[in-house]
Amino acid sequence: MRDPQKMSKRLPSPILLTLAVVLLALPFHGNTLQTSTNPERPILLHIKQHFSNPTLLSHWTSSALDHCNWPEVTCVDGSVTGIRLVDLKLNQTLPPFMCDLRSLTLVDLNHNFFSGPFPISLYNCSNLQFLDLSFNFFNGSIPADINSLSPQLKVFNLSANSFAGCIPPAIGALQQLKELRLAMSFFSSASFPPEIGDLLNLQVLDLNDNPFSPQPIPSSFTNLNKLRNLWIRNSNLVGEIPENLFSNTTTPALEYLDLSGNGLSGNIPSGMFLMKNLTTVYLTANRLSGHIPQAVEAFNLNWIDLSNNSLTGEIPQGFGKLTKLEGLFLFMNQLTGEIPGSIGRLPALGDVRLFMNNLSGKIPPEFGRFSKLQRLDVSTNNLVGSLPEGLCDNKVLESFIAFQNNLTGEIPKSLGDCSDSLISFRVEKNQLSGRIPDGLWTARNLEKLMVSDNLFIGELPAEKVGPNLSLVEMGNNRFSGEIPAGVSSWSNLVSFKAGYNLFSGGIPNELTVLEQLSVLWVDGNQLSGSFPSEIISWKSLTSLKCNGNHLSGEIPSALGRLLNLNELDLSGNQFSGEIPPEIGRHLRLTSLNLSSNNLSGAIPAELENAAFDKSFLNNSGLCSTNPSSFGLSRNCSKEKSQKADAGFVRVIAILVSTAAALVVVAILSIVFVAGRKSNDKRRQEGPSPDWKITPFHKLSFTESNIVSNLTESNVMGRGASGIVYQVALVGALHSRGCEKVAVKRIWNCKSLEREFEAEVKILGTIRHYNIVKLLCGMSSSDCKLLVYEFMEKRSLDLWIHAKRRSSNWAGSPPTAYHYEVLQWPTRLRIAIGTAQGLCYMHHSCSPPIVHRDVKSSNVLLDSEFNAKLADFGLARLLLKHGEANTTLSSVAAGSFGYIAPGQSLPPSPSP
């Protein structure tokens, strides 16, 4: 048994217990005391309050134990050294007291909504080493005393803001800078200072995508011998690349070079491909010429892009030593010679694009065997021989493009092994023969199969094809057989061009199941029978060519209900019956050819205009109210009149015995009275001008309806070329769903007569939903008028500048129009509509038409804000070389104070 006295001596006294508790509590209590008295936390909370207490900073509270644990805050030894407030949607100004955090070395505020001038309060951050204000909305000029920032600054990023003016030369005084990023900051009409070359510690320089004034690369850049990344893409550089700038002596550390999208000329520096650390070179889209340097020792290169220049000579054999090379882009140059086989043996090579050169010889058989080749494009060259067998040995080939060469032989069956990877296969315009391998048809990821203009044979697959196949072009070959019913399984097919082959049989009804079909060309085959009954399901169809076959029956009226159809060619068949009136009412139909069939009846009134003057030739049964304009011999009006006369004669013969005398007397009386009234009216009104009307659509008004309304009260506006009137035709056009027209009266002068002729010549021959409809032209000895469809919302110019221009408009629209801001969906609809109109003029008209005065006042808007191009008085037809153009001007064109940008370019339409 233990001694109680000894046990009592071992137990701690109450004093010792209390002391132990106090000692244990001291560290925690001490930390709390330190945190509560730290002067930096109130500054951080004040910063949060300045930014209106954003939700994403809700954890910044006075009750939090340690602000150094906040994810946006960095501390060293308990002092705040960094603040990262990235992508928090902050839109206030920077707090001027931020630099009260005396130990602050890092400020990162990128991807917010800060605006206003550069925050010079940051000058007070004396220890700042890292400053990132990129992707905000700061504006104005960068301060001339920018060197007042901390002399310790190493990283300075102002990219993607809205600065203007010059980059101040004082930036060269920030001697510790290692990274300077000023990309996409819109330094318009200014240059970057050569003092940047004084930043001897600079490793990264990013001046990409700035509209600088044209300037050469400063020679001072040769001082930047620590430079690793140089990015000056799309920044208006001109002149030659300094020969001594890129070498192992001046810039030995350089790894990444991007000078693409400038106006650089001359040769590529001879030492560029000798730089030991160089990994990436982008010189695309310049004006470089001469040979590619043959000396190659930059063995770390993984990407070379010299495309879209004027380089000549051969591809360097030394490129075949670049074992790390992944991408080689040399397209759109003037390179000659053969493709080095050693390039095909590079183990890392994945993307090779050599199209649009003058290369000859064979495609090296090494391609695809030694590397995981994904894309190979050698199109538009002079290559011969067969396709390499090993292109898909590694089964990762995604795209093979070799169109427009002189290739022969068959498509290797091994290409069918790419069923899991191949997306695009293009070999059109060669001399290839044989059959298409089954593996290509069934490749599960294949989207584009384009083999037109070759010597291929065989039939379309009766079974399913690859589920993603959307574009098939196989025209001008020797394919035969029927279009199989299994075509219904081609569920994603968007475009099928199979013209000028030997296909026979009918157009299967199963083809109408393909609701995504947009283009169907089966012209120049041996198809027969009638159209399938369910073509109304082709809701997306824009172009249908079935000409040059043996199709018969009536033209389906459903074609007129395909709202997206703008091109229809059924010529050279055996169609009979009348032209469905629905086709005449089709607003978007811009190209129509029904010639050389057995059609009969009258041409729909809506189609009787100059745009379709060649659309109905060689149809002996057709008639027109103006047959000579359409190459026809039958006059509908005359035939109708003759039939009416014959009936009238029969009636008279029956009634003549009882009422002849009364009828004759009545007719003579009416004629006499009407003649008296007509003569009296002519004497009162005086002589009327001899108007000549040139209609382009069926008109339901006369010249008097138009001329009588050309009054001052109907003036909509005045311009350099004439006056525009708003004319209300009460009931005259009601059947067409229109009650108003716009009439432009051209001023009397020689130059404006040419504009009148140009407007009539162009708008009278084209029809497009996004081009304003010219109803007719009217001219007399002293006046010329153009009558258009009325655009209820007027011009885009009025909507953009309504507030400051509304007072200048005669006959202004309702006040609500002046102040309503166009919403983004409406703006997008207007932009797309304008682009569609221009695209039609440039690419679908023959010859192409260039507007030459595209501006907001020449973009008109209908009641639903659909855009329509107008005012073609300055337009030009792009005739082929040698064709005369006596009517349309070919000199620089534009409105007063404005010349379209395209006028400074050669005579070829922009896309």
553: left (phi over 0), alpha (psi -120 to 50) or beta: left
The reply to whether 184 falls in a domain is yes
The H or E element spanning position 520 is strand 519-521
Helices vs strands, H then E, count in the chain:
13, 52
pLDDT of 61: 92
Task: With respect to residue 243, please indicate whether it lies within any of the assigned structural domains.
Answer: no
List phi, psi (to 5°) of 23.
Answer: -65, -40
Catalytic residue flag (residue 853):
yes
723 neighbors 744 (Cβ within 8 angstroms): yes
Helix, strand or coil, per DSSP, at residue 848: coil
What phi, psi does 495 have (nearest 5°)? -135, 125
Q: Which domain holds residue 832?
A: 692-904
**Residue 163 · residue 188 · CB < 8 Å:** no
- Residue that has been written with the tokens 């994810």 in this structure: 71
Separation between Cα atoms, residue 410 and residue 400, nearest integer Å: 15
Q: Distance (Å, rounded) from C-alpha 786 to C-alpha 788?
A: 6
Count Cα atoms within 13 angstroms, Cβ side, for 796. 21
Q: Residue 152: inside a domain, yes or no?
A: yes
Contact 425, 448 (CB under 8 A): yes
Please tell me the distance from the alpha carbon of residue 375 to that of residue 609, in angstroms, as a whole number.
49
Asked if the model's pLDDT at residue 640 lies above 60, the reply is: no
d(CA 24, CA 32): 14
User: What are the CA-CA distances from residue 365 to residues 101, 265, 331, 422 (Å)?
Assistant: 66, 35, 20, 19
- Residue 551 and residue 527 in contact, taking contact as beta carbons nearer than 8 Å: yes
Q: Examine the pLDDT at 550 and tell me if it is beyond 60.
A: yes
Amino acid at 316: P
Please state the rounded mean pLDDT for residues 694-722: 79
Tally the C-alpha atoms within 13 A of residue 60's C-alpha that lie toward its C-beta.
23
User: In angstroms, rounded to a whole number, what is the distance separating the alpha carbons of residues 47 and 274?
Assistant: 52
* pLDDT value of position 714: 84
Chain position carrying tokens 């004629």: 671
Query: Are the CB atoms for 771 and 868 separated by under 8 Å?
Result: yes
Q: Convert the pLDDT of each residue in 439-484 to its tens digit.
A: 999 999 999 999 999 999 999 998 888 999 999 999 999 999 999 9
Q: Which of 52-66, 276-290, 562-576 has the lowest mean pLDDT?
A: 52-66
- Measure the N-to-C terminal CA separation of the chain; round to a whole number of Å: 108
Residue 856: half-sphere exposure toward Cβ, Cα within 13 Å: 9
**Domain boundary at 150, 183, 213, which?**
213
* Maximal C-alpha separation, the chain: 164
Helix (H, G, I), strand (E, B) or coil at 529: strand
Alpha carbon distance 92, 76 (integer Å): 28
Q: What is the residue whose two structure tokens read 């003759």?
A: 642
**How many Å apart are CA 713 and CA 723, to the nearest integer?**
12
Residue 340 banded pLDDT, cuts 50, 70, 90: very high
If DSSP codes are grouped into helix, strand and coil, which group holds residue 362?
strand
Pick the most confident of 142-151, 742-751, 808-817.
142-151
722-746 per-position pLDDT tens digit: 788 888 876 554 444 457 889 988 8
To the nearest whole percent, how much of the chain has pLDDT over 90? 53
Q: With the C-alpha atoms ordered 211, 217, 218, 223, is the resulting torsion angle positive or negative?
A: positive
Dist. CA 293–CA 274, nearest whole Å: 9
Q: Cβ distance 876 to 856 under 8 Å?
A: no
Radius of gyration of the chain (CA): 39
Of 206, 453, 853, 871, the active-site residue reads 853
Nearest to 280 by CA among 263, 259, 304: 304
In a domain, 173, yes or no: yes
Q: Indicate the pairing of strand 740-746 with strand 784-789.
A: antiparallel
Report cis status (omega within 30 of 0) of the bond before 143: no
pLDDT at 63: 84
pLDDT more than 70, % of the chain: 80
Taking the CA of residue 877 as centre, how many other CA atoms within 13 Å lie in the half-sphere pointing to its CB? Answer: 21
For tokens 């007070």, the residue is 124
| C-beta pairs of 471-476 under 8 Å, 24+ apart in sequence | 471/447, 471/495, 472/496, 472/497, 472/498, 473/428, 473/449, 473/497, 474/449, 474/450, 474/498, 474/501, 475/499, 475/500, 475/501, 475/521, 476/452, 476/500, 476/501
What is the 8-class DSSP label of residue 771?
Answer: B
**Does a structural domain hold residue 839?**
yes
Residue 214: which residues within 8 A CB-CB, separation 6 or more?
A: 236, 237, 238, 263
Buried-state track 710-733, b at ≥16 Cβ within 10 A, e below 16: eeeebbbbeeebbbbbbbebeebb
AA letter at 879: L
Residue 492, helix vs strand vs coil: coil
Q: What is the pLDDT of residue 204?
A: 98
Q: Answer whether residue 95 is part of any domain.
A: yes
Phi and psi angles of residue 99, each rounded to the nearest 5 degrees, phi first: -75, 5
User: What pLDDT band is residue 882 in, cutting at 50, 70 and 90?
Assistant: very low
With respect to residue 713, please indicate whether it lies within any of the assigned structural domains.
Answer: yes
**β-strands 849-850, 876-877: how paired?**
antiparallel
pLDDT digit string, tens, across residues 248-298: 889 999 999 999 999 999 999 999 999 999 999 999 999 999 999 999 999
Query: Does position 226 have pLDDT exceeding 60, yes or no?
Result: yes
Sequence-ordered list of residues with C-beta below 8 angstroms from that of 2, at least 6 positions apart, any chain: none
Please give the tally of structural domains in the chain: 2
Instruction: State the Cα–Cα distance between residues 180 and 195, nearest whole angstrom.
Output: 13
Confidence of residue 842 (pLDDT cuts 50, 70, 90): confident
H/E/C letters for each residue in 465-482? CCCCCCEEECCCCEEEEE
**Alpha carbon 238 to its chain's center:** 27
Q: Is 846 exposed, middle or buried (0-12, 13-18, 19+ CB in 10 A)?
A: exposed
Average pLDDT score over residue span 40-69: 91
**Given CA atoms 393, 395, 396, 397 in this order, what sign does their dihedral have?**
positive
pLDDT tens sequence across 164-222: 888 999 999 999 999 999 998 877 767 889 999 999 999 999 999 998 999 999 999 99
pLDDT over 50 (residue 684): no
Domain edge (last residue) among 151, 185, 213: 213
Q: Residues near 66 by Cβ (< 8 Å), separated by ≥ 6?
A: 35
**Average pLDDT value for the chain:** 83
Residue 776 bridge partners (DSSP): 695, 787
User: Residues, the chain, total?
Assistant: 911
Nearest to 663 by CA among 676, 678, 674, 648: 648
**What does the H/E/C string look like for 156-216?**
EECCCCEEECCCCHHHHHCCCCCEEECCCCCCCCCCCCHHHHHCCCCCEEECCCCCCCCEC
The per-residue pLDDT for range 488-529, each reduced to its tens digit, is 889 999 999 999 999 999 999 999 999 999 999 999 999 999
The CATH number assigned to the domain holding 186 equals 3.80.10.10
Q: How many CB atoms lie within 10 A of CB 795?
A: 20
The C-alpha atoms of residue 535 and residue 899 are separated, in whole angstroms, by 46
| Structural domain contains residue 272 | no
Give the pLDDT score at 37: 59
Q: Are 858 and 869 in contact (CB under 8 A)?
A: yes
Residue in 821, 743, 757 with CA at minimum distance from that of residue 785: 743
Residue where a domain terminates, one of 193, 213, 233? 213
Residue 795: predicted pLDDT: 86
**3-state DSSP assignment of residue 69:** helix
- The helix/strand/coil state of 722 is strand
Does pTM surpass 0.75? no
Instruction: Could you list the beta-strand ranges (E) of 195-270.
Output: 204-206, 229-231, 238-240, 256-258, 263-266
Per the CB < 8 A criterion, the answer to whether 727 and 743 are in contact is yes
The confidence score (pLDDT) of residue 76 equals 95
Domain harbouring 850, CATH code: 1.10.510.10
